[in-house]
Amino acid sequence: MTAHPVTTTTGLVMVGVTLTHGDGDSVVTALDDVSLTVEPGELLAVVGPSGAGKSSLLAVAGGLTRPDSGQVRVGAADLVAASRRQLAAIRRTEIGFVFQSGNLVPALTAVDQLRLPLQFGKVADPRDPMELLEEVGMAERAKRRPHQLSGGERQRVGIARALMTRPRLLLVDEPTAALDRARSQEVVALLAREAHQHGVATVMVTHDHDVLHHCDRVLEMMDGQLLPHTA
């Protein structure tokens, strides 16, 4: 058995991943031999100082940036070997992205935001948008547009939208950056619940140490390396 068994039931597996930016004298190592396994249903938090490589980690795990070396798998999909076209399909069906402030489309109602991920191609077994809005506590606001929602509500819609295709992996970038303490707790508790209930491997980058108790595991990124978090 290898140190990192890869099965179709695994969420995210990264092995020996290195990513550098620039060249010559100005080479920056954003990811330095990073290995990481995130199991289905696990909520992992990644903390660390600015410039440590957290965004780079999300970009590589999400198939947005190809690493210089190493393996990256989401379920059975090999993100390093995949063509650009295959990567786009993997991103669309297997990976959900949640951004700092929800990143909603201004003109669309909440329920239409959720239908959006289904409009770019076939999705095998999509969630029902109204049912999912109900699950995240937003059913009564289904017809509202983003400007009629609070920051926490926008974030809930953003999370629901990311779950529409039943992704295997959810990548979450600073979800509480624009929220007060109470709303931050609610949003991260929601992420934990969704991860656990639906078996979604979830990686959340955060600066917010107050929400870490909702997470199953916390790692610290430091100079491109992932280390155990010491509180």
Ligand X SMILES: Nc1ncnc2c1ncn2[C@@H]1O[C@H](COP(=O)(O)OP(=O)(O)OP(=O)(O)O)[C@@H](O)[C@H]1O
How many other C-beta atoms are found inside a 10 Å radius of the C-beta of residue 137? 14
Q: Does 68 bind ligand X (CB under 6 A)?
A: no
> Which residues in the 207-226 window bind ligand X by CB under 6 A?
221
Minimum distance from residue 64 beta carbon to ligand X (Å): 12
Q: Does 36 bind ligand X (CB under 6 A)?
A: no
Q: Does 54 bind ligand X (CB under 6 A)?
A: yes
Element at 228 (helix H, strand E): strand 225-228
DSSP percent split of the chain into helix, strand, coil, nearest 5: 35, 25, 40
Contacts of 149 (CB under 8 A, 6+ apart): 110, 141, 157
Beta bridge partners of 221: 226
Minimum distance from residue 7 beta carbon to ligand X (Å): 29
Please pick, from the candidates 53, 96, 102, 146, the single residue that binds ligand X as defined by CB under 6 A: 53
The footprint of ligand X on this chain (CB under 6 A) covers a number of residues equal to 13
Q: Does 46 bind ligand X (CB under 6 A)?
A: no
In the numeric block, the tokens 């010491």 are attached to: 230
Q: List interacting residues with ligand X (CB under 6 A).
A: 21-22, 28, 30, 48, 50-56, 221
